[in-house]
Amino acid sequence: MERRRDPADRRRSRVVVTPAGRRALRKADLLADDGLSQLLPGLTAQERDVLYGLLSRGASHLAGETSDG
C-alpha cells in the first residue's frame, strides 16, 4: 500500500494498493479459504457461500447498514 496525493484535491491523500499488496491479498484470501474449508469440512463450497452471505448480512445489520429489502 502507498499513499498518493489526490490530483483533484492536493489537500487529500489516497491510499492505493501496490502490485505487491495485490499479491499479498490474493495469498491471504487463499489461506483464508483453505482455513475455512478445514473449519467447515461438512459444507460444500456453495453452502459456505450461502453461510458467508448470511453472516455478511447479519454483520451489516449490526453495523446499521441494512436495507429492509
pLDDT for 64: 83
Q: List CB contacts of 57: < 8 A, sequence separation 6 or more.
A: 66
pLDDT for 21: 92
pLDDT for 63: 84
Q: Measure the N-to-C terminal CA separation of the chain; round to a whole number of Å.
A: 36
Q: List CB contacts of 48: < 8 A, sequence separation 6 or more.
A: 36, 37, 40
- Delimit the domains of the chain by residue range: 2-62
Statement: residue 67 has pLDDT above 80: no
pLDDT digits (tens, 9 = 90+) for 11-66: 999 999 999 999 999 999 999 888 888 888 888 889 988 998 998 999 998 888 75
